[in-house]
Amino acid sequence: MRFRFTAFVATLGLVAGLLEVVHGADAVKLDPDATFRLEFPDLPNTLETLASGERQPARLTATLPSNYSRDGKFPVFIFLDGDKGGRGDGLPIPARMVVPRDFICVALPLFKRAYKKDDSALVTMEDYETASHAYRLMLQRLFDVVPNTTPERSALGGFSNGGHTVAVLLAGHDRFILQHFQAFYFVEGGFGPLAAHVLQEPAMKSCRFLLLRGDRADAKPEPKMHLARALEYLAEEHHVDFTSIVMRGYGHELPKEYLSVLGQWVRGEKLSREFQ
């Protein structure tokens, strides 16, 4: 399912000047609040393109923070959408509500090895090589264009199928992802690969994890509850920084108050007592 933001219009708020679509690094102006898109015509079709049949190149959209300067170091915040994942044209959440400053906000599409009509769009371990290759190329281009990013506090996560994708990357022990991100979050997705392959790995002791899940009956909370408990036990056993939060009264969604919680966690702030 694609992200549904409760009581908000799903928008990145790209109002800080003309958005550029570029193929190379030279055309990008690294100014505060600048937004630009990078296109990747040589990459495989995105999941959205496979599903729609409308061929469009994969895109990465990035917005620099209002306090950006070439002298500083800036973490990266990425939110991967659910369902088919979109085209990478912009984040489906008001990103500046999560990270008002300091962070470079990035939108990426989803990838699957293959997809046919009526197939499941769920990203699984079979899609690891396809997704890993695509994100490595896309993010390396971003890091070349914006050379003063930092892994410290950089966060990668997503909703539903976006969360599955992040969990698959971690379950595949993706070195590039672990080299450039230290925080990973999952909203209504990613439970299975995380429980099976991730938290027991020594490399995860230097990372932070956040899991958000709804408890409303129509969101089928029982399987998620059992998997979340298994993850909590694994994290405790292997001394991993793992925060698990139940979104009380909500289903397959990310409501306003929990978007705020996500922001506190990404920024490294202490969570309110009710969410600890």
User: For position 193, what pLDDT does the model report?
Assistant: 87
Domains of the chain, with CATH numbers?
20-275 (3.40.50.1820)
**Minimal CA–CA distance to 173: which of 198, 153, 151?**
198
Low-confidence ranges of the chain (pLDDT < 50): 5-18
User: For position 21, what pLDDT does the model report?
Assistant: 57
User: For position 13, what pLDDT does the model report?
Assistant: 39
Could you give phi then psi for residue 214, rounded to 5 degrees? -85, 160
Instruction: Give the burial class of 161: count Cβ atoms within 10 A of its Cβ; 0-12 exposed, 13-18 middle, 19 or more buried.
Output: buried
Q: State the Cα–Cα distance between residues 190 and 183, nearest whole angstrom.
A: 14
pTM (two decimals): 0.90
User: For position 17, what pLDDT does the model report?
Assistant: 40
* Count, residues in the chain: 276
User: For position 163, what pLDDT does the model report?
Assistant: 96
Q: State the Cα–Cα distance between residues 160 and 1, nearest whole angstrom.
A: 7
